[in-house]
Amino acid sequence: MGRMKTLALLPLLLFATGAAWAVDDAIVLRCRALPDAASRLACYEAMPVAGARPAPPAEQRFGIQRVEKKVDDEPQAIRSTVRGRLDGWRHGTQVTLANGQVWRVVDDDEAVLPDRADPPVRIERGALGAYYLQVEGNNSAARVVRVK
């Protein structure tokens, strides 16, 4: 299918697929009346989506696996504190951070740490989509996955 046909069908395809566009007819007519394909496409892409919410801040998205193409806008690491006490971890240990994120240890190695209340931690991105949790002031790190 040629580009012109694709652009001409764009509004129909968007509505046929159930995309809920919050646009009035005047905006659609204005876009349709534009003389060149690039301008029409830009006009259609600028239409607001009904119920669209702004994306959460990058730190809140940190560690969430995405189904769509990954956009590398996450920070390299985050810092927070553990809610409650932490004296180590083993496979399956869940750690809840002060920012509300929940992480689960997926390493088979165990770590015994000095028992501390609300210890500061750093979670850093590693190679191939891995994340590592490290309690500040300690050299042990655990491979973790974000649960919530």
If you average pLDDT over residues 71-89, what whole number do you get? Answer: 87
Q: How confident is the model at residue 3 (pLDDT cuts 50, 70, 90)?
A: low
Residue in the block written with tokens 């940190």: 62
Q: Is residue 120 part of a domain?
A: yes
Do 10 and 78 sit in the same domain of this protein? no
pTM: 0.53
Q: Are 95 and 105 in contact (CB under 8 A)?
A: yes
Determine the Cα–Cα distance for residues 118 and 12; give it in Å rounded to an integer.
54
Range of the domain at 16: 3-45
Do 83 and 38 sit in the same domain of this protein? no
If you average pLDDT over residues 21-48, what whole number do you get? Answer: 78
Q: How confident is the model at residue 4 (pLDDT cuts 50, 70, 90)?
A: low
- Output the CA angle 106-107-113, nearest 5 degrees: 110
Domain count, the chain: 2
DSSP string, 35-63: SSHHHHHHHHHTSPBTT--PPPPHHHHTT
Residue in the block written with tokens 């973790």: 144
Q: Report residue 39 as tokens.
A: 């301008």
Q: Is residue 50 part of a domain?
A: no
Do 74 and 134 sit in the same domain of this protein? yes
Do 67 and 20 sit in the same domain of this protein? no
Q: Is residue 85 part of a domain?
A: yes
